[in-house]
Amino acid sequence: MSERLQPGDTAPAFTLPDADGTEVSLADHKGRKTIVYFYPAALTPGCTKQACDFTDNLDVLASAGYDVIGVSPDEPAKLAKFRDKENLKVTLVGDPDKKVIEAYGAYGEKKNYGKTYMGVIRSTVVVDEDGKVERALYNVRAAGHVAKIIKDLGI
């Protein structure tokens, strides 16, 4: 199980391919606050709800100075299918080897229907303009999470 991030930690740098195979780096967002959220799999009900919520609130977040990046272990082709099917506007990047997911503490033991297994823990990390962790939220719920972030950030 990977170490969870704490406020004040330096957010781990990353460069990952987006749905079109274009490299996206956290460094590209320096000078802006960035919400990096981790979800288990594209095209699943909870992850779709969460991605649609971020898309629906993207203008509100952007006008408050926040960029949003969704990270999953999916390949770019699956991310493109997800984006196109759900008309998503949020930036989605793939981390098939889970190195970034692990670096952010978003991979570990999960329980579902009485079974224990290793997987992506639905998590959200808010990174400030200087690349420091402002907030790190783990085991979040897909439904209502974006509204809670907006409220907690005072947007």
pLDDT in tens, 51-105: 999 999 999 999 999 999 999 999 999 999 999 999 999 999 999 999 999 999 9
Q: Which one is predicted more confidently, 1 or 21? A: 21
Q: Inform me whether the pLDDT recorded for 1 exceeds 60.
A: no
In contact, 110 and 121? CB cutoff 8 Å? yes
Q: Maximum CA pair distance of the chain? A: 44
Query: How distant is the alpha carbon of residue 145 from its chain centre?
Result: 12
Amino acid in position 124 = T
How many other CB atoms are there within 10 angstroms of residue 83's CB atom? 21
Mean pLDDT of the chain: 94
The catalytic residue positions are 47
The pLDDT tens digits of the residues spanning 8-26 come to 999 999 999 999 999 999 9
Please determine, for residue 2, whether its predicted confidence score (pLDDT) is greater than 70: no
Residue 7 has a CB neighbour count (10 Å cut-off) of: 12
> What does each C-alpha distance from 66 to 98, 122, 125, 128 come to in angstroms?
24, 19, 12, 9
Determine the Cα–Cα distance for residues 11 and 25; give it in Å rounded to an integer. 12
